[in-house]
Amino acid sequence: MEEKLERFKEIIDQHHRIVFFGGAGVSTASGIPDFRSSAGLYAEDQHRQLPAEEIVSTSFFQKNPAQFFQFYFDKLVYPEAKPNIAHQFMAQLEEQGKNIQIVTQNIDNLHEQAGSSHVHHLHGTTEHNYCINCGRYYSYEELILDESGIPRCSADQGIVRPDVTLYGEQLDMTVVDQAIRVMKEAEVLIVAGTSLVVYPAAGLIDYFNGQHAIVINNQPIRTHRLEPLLFIQDMTDVFSVLS
């Protein structure tokens, strides 16, 4: 363990262009549940009439906006969550002058709260919202809910939806293209808190051409063609030692 941590530190110290590719496990230490673990949202499906994947789909949102937003605000939005050691570690590296690019599957904005400037949200973010009628932008703090719990536009009373990718929708190709570009340019790739099973996001690591990949996950995962420096343990333990 100590030897691997020393190697991790050497790699970071000796390189400038670093991509951090993070999944739901990055935010669990901040109190935000993941989807696929035994304590995740999907594990709760047996107690619901409808599975989570159906509730956060485009078709369900369009037909049942009140139910959609009840689930969304209850299960997907955590305004009280604070950045953890992983978010802080990457922000510290940027402060030191390194080119840190964050590619995240998470819809929170904890990387931004920690101070990271270059964050590519593959699935959007709860911080960005827009009226489906006029396109007017709202931050999360600006949302005004009607009596049914549905956010409404102050200009035309249209529904204000989160700018996140729902099931049945395509990823924002502008963001995907940005993620591909930074992957290709990176010297170091850090993969953390993801099982690498959600596509097309997981396929992005195939664009990495650098020499050094580091994977941190609390369970073994398939790392495709990468031959990484591998940590099968809690992410916070690793970053706590390095900070």
Q: What is the pLDDT, as a whole number, of residue 144?
A: 98
C-alpha 93/C-alpha 45 separation (Å) is 39
Catalytic annotation, residues: 123
C-alpha 139/C-alpha 55 separation (Å) is 23
Site of tokens 């992957």: 183
Q: What is the pLDDT, as a whole number, of residue 227?
A: 82
Q: What is the pLDDT, as a whole number, of residue 198?
A: 77
C-alpha 213/C-alpha 158 separation (Å) is 46
Q: What is the pLDDT, as a whole number, of residue 45?
A: 46
What is the dihedral sign for C-alpha 84, 89, 94, 95?
A: positive
Going by the DSSP 8-state scheme, the letter that residue 233 receives in this structure is S
Phi-psi region of 135 (alpha: psi -120 to 50; beta: other; left: phi over 0): left
Q: What is the pLDDT, as a whole number, of residue 52?
A: 86
Which domains, ranges and CATH numbers included, belong to the chain? 1-32+82-123+171-243 (3.40.50.1220)
Instruction: Give the burial class of 134: count Cβ atoms within 10 A of its Cβ; 0-12 exposed, 13-18 middle, 19 or more buried.
Output: exposed
C-alpha 149/C-alpha 17 separation (Å) is 44
pLDDT digits (tens, 9 = 90+) for 6-31: 999 999 999 999 999 999 999 999 99
**Strand runs labelled E in 79-202:** 99-104, 119-121, 124-131, 137-139, 160-164, 188-192
Q: What is the pLDDT, as a whole number, of residue 136?
A: 98
Residues of the chain with pLDDT below 70 are 1, 35-48, 224
